[in-house]
Amino acid sequence: MIRASGTAGFQGHPATVASSRLTSAVAASLAVAALSLCLIVTLTVLSTKATMAMGLPV
């Protein structure tokens, strides 16, 4: 079996898949999502600690 030239692996020219504006927008939205997730986790931990410090009503 003879392999055709230029069809093996990643030897061809890379094709542009998305524009740089789209890539920047996706990166920015991921950064905002990560920051909001960190904020939610921080608030959850702090509220849990505050609840534990108050103790259970008897």
Per-residue pLDDT tens over the stretch 1-58: 555 555 556 666 666 677 999 999 999 999 999 999 999 999 999 999 988 888 766 6
Q: What is the pLDDT of residue 14?
A: 64
Predicted structure pTM score: 0.59
Helix and strand element counts for the chain (H, E) = 1, 0
- 32, 35, 40, 43: CA torsion to nearest 10: -140
